Amino acid sequence: MLEATAFLRPSAVALVATALLLSGCQREAAVTAPPIAPPPAETAETPAAPAPAPTLDRAGLLQAMDAAASAYAAGRPPDVSLAGRRFVVRQAFGCAGESPPPAEAAPGEAAPGDGLAAWSWGPRRESLRLTMAPGDWTDSPLLAGSADSWEAAEGFWISRPWLRADGCPGGEGDPLASGPVAAPSPQSVGLAAVFEEDGSRLGRRNGRAYEFTVRGEGDQAPAAPVGGYRLVLEGRLAAFADGRALRCRGASSDQRPVCIGAVHLDRVAFETADGRTLSEWRVGG
């Protein structure tokens, strides 16, 4: 019995030593373990800036004018205000040929403008003359009660407002119609370039027409245009006193209202039918 007891004691000592060794390793592993990284802080997402409204072309502007005319006829204000929207509108002119030369102004006076672009032959048909004389709409009933800061308004009609395309009309008159040729429909859609009292006068025409002369190559006379020319109006819609950019008025509920948009023009240009710029005028340049 004594020998057996003496034999077991070294084993117990070995077990105790092994346990102590393992315990030390675990404590050291616990000490040297890397700290757990804290979860990343949540960052608030910055909302994306709203995309700018698309630039209005001829079709978009005429669609807005139609909606404004319908709202006026129904006795309610337009549903949407377009103040601040940019636009680039092209107006085909001279599609049916030349127009009579514009009337010459008396000395010291400006020729009255009709707000429509046209072309005519020059002397001896050696050149073509493109003209656009804005109308004086400063005292027009359409602008009555508008912004008090407006000193002047120059008018541009958008002819054939039922045609949304930029080019010349493709339809022909009714071959079965009899009698004289029908007169053009009265103008019913236009843009009024408005000028503030304290604003720059560089863009004002003051009765002067936009003009450009087309000449032939060498001694050749220019050919009459196929597909007419284009008048380009570019700028930003302004606002009347009620904050809206479009205004309509009508003499009778049985007539289409006349609608105009208040605008600040940045550019006026003449183009060929295929889009080549012939001449341009920029505000301040």
Q: How many domains does the chain have?
A: 1
pLDDT (0 to 100) of residue 153: 94
Residue bearing the bigger pLDDT, 230 or 27: 230
Q: Is residue 109 part of a domain?
A: no
Residue range 258-280: mean pLDDT, rounded? 96
Q: Is residue 108 part of a domain?
A: no
Average predicted confidence (pLDDT) for the chain: 83
Chain position carrying tokens 């105009």: 260
Band of the pLDDT at 42, cuts 50, 70, 90? Answer: low
Give the tokens for residue 96. 């049916």
Q: Is residue 30 part of a domain?
A: no
Closest CA to 276 of 209, 242, 225, 240: 225
Residue bearing the bigger pLDDT, 273 or 253: 273
- pLDDT(11) > 60: no
Residue range 46-56: mean pLDDT, rounded? 80
Closest CA to 88 of 132, 134, 55, 52: 55
pLDDT (0 to 100) of residue 106: 63
> What residue numbers bound the domain in which 243 lies?
58-96+136-167+185-205+228-282
Residue range 79-93: mean pLDDT, rounded? 92
Give the tokens for residue 155. 């008018």
Q: Is residue 36 part of a domain?
A: no
Give the tokens for residue 161. 């407002």
Closest CA to 126 of 210, 212, 211, 219: 219
**Other CB atoms within 10 A of residue 5 CB:** 8
Q: Is residue 198 part of a domain?
A: yes
Element (H, E) at 72: helix 58-73
Residue range 173-194: mean pLDDT, rounded? 79
Q: What is the dihedral of CA 273, 281, 113, 106, to 10 degrees?
A: -120
Q: Is residue 215 part of a domain?
A: no
Q: Is residue 153 part of a domain?
A: yes
Give the tokens for residue 182. 């029908």
Residue bearing the bigger pLDDT, 220 or 33: 220
3-class state of residue 196 by DSSP: strand
Q: Is residue 2 part of a domain?
A: no
State pLDDT tens for residues 146-163.
766 788 999 999 999 999
